[in-house]
Chain A
Amino acid sequence: MKEDRDLHDIAMNENYQTYLKENLEKYEDKWVVIIDKKIVASGDSLKELLGKVRKEHGTKTPFVAKVPKKTFMTLSASWSNALFPICSRKS
């Protein structure tokens, strides 16, 4: 089907596809850096990792991701009413 083809023909970069396919269990809650379809670094500080990786891989654009913990998530963030009151009353 065309729709299926569209889905599979996505122009996603190869490093992202590597991220999706790799077994990342041992990297749980760590940052991973992927270049040329390989995990080239992992750890807690992304800035340090990228510093090391750039020495070895130069200007190649890295794919970076923090491997999620195995927990359910709820997200959502909104402006605080404390800063932007919707209504206010004079006392």
Chain B
Amino acid sequence: MPSFPYVLEKVKDGFVYRPKIPVTISYKGNRIETWAIIDSGSDVSILPREIANALCTELSGKQVDIAGMGGGLLKVVTDYINLGIAGINLPQTKVFIPVEGSKDAEQFILGHEPLFKEFNITFEYNAKKITLNKIRH
């Protein structure tokens, strides 16, 4: 079972540990590696527009609204990427991308769709590790 360490990051008053994991994204021949933050409170996954633009995604899907903290709505379009997590390829993974003029996502957020549907995830904050176990469908 692949495990990943929590990532220690600075904030103004000290440090925080965040549940981030490395991922690979490919889209029509373009491929990058980056990190994503696991968000168990998120229904969906949100790919920053900067990354989507760099991958030359089409940004032409149907526009919908996503509700976030504080009640604000984020205008997004859907697209499909090939996502690699813990050595497992998840082809045609649906992601939401903030549209031009809408606030961009600060990071790649992995929510229930697809992460929690594809993996059993164990958060061990005290041990500072996250374990992903692929679910066999």
| Structural contact, A76 and B69, CB atoms closer than 8 A | yes
When each residue 6-45 of chain B gets 1 if its CB lies under 8 Å from chain A and 0 otherwise, what string results?
0101111000101000101000000111110101011110
What is the number of contacts between chain A and chain B, taking CB atoms within 8 Å? 117
Task: Name the interface size band of chain A.
Answer: 35 or more
Residue B5, interface by CB 8 Å: yes
Residue A12, interface by CB 8 Å: yes
Contacts of B65 in A (CB 8 A): 80, 82-83
Given A63-B34, A66-B106, A77-B66, A47–B1 Cβ distance below 8 Å?
no
Task: Name the interface size band of chain B.
Answer: 35 or more
Q: How far is the CB of A86 from chain B (nearest CB, A)?
A: 13
| Structural contact, A31 and B50, CB atoms closer than 8 A | yes
Report which A residues bind B (CB closer than 8 A). 3, 6-7, 10-13, 15-16, 19-20, 25, 31, 45-47, 50, 61-66, 68-83
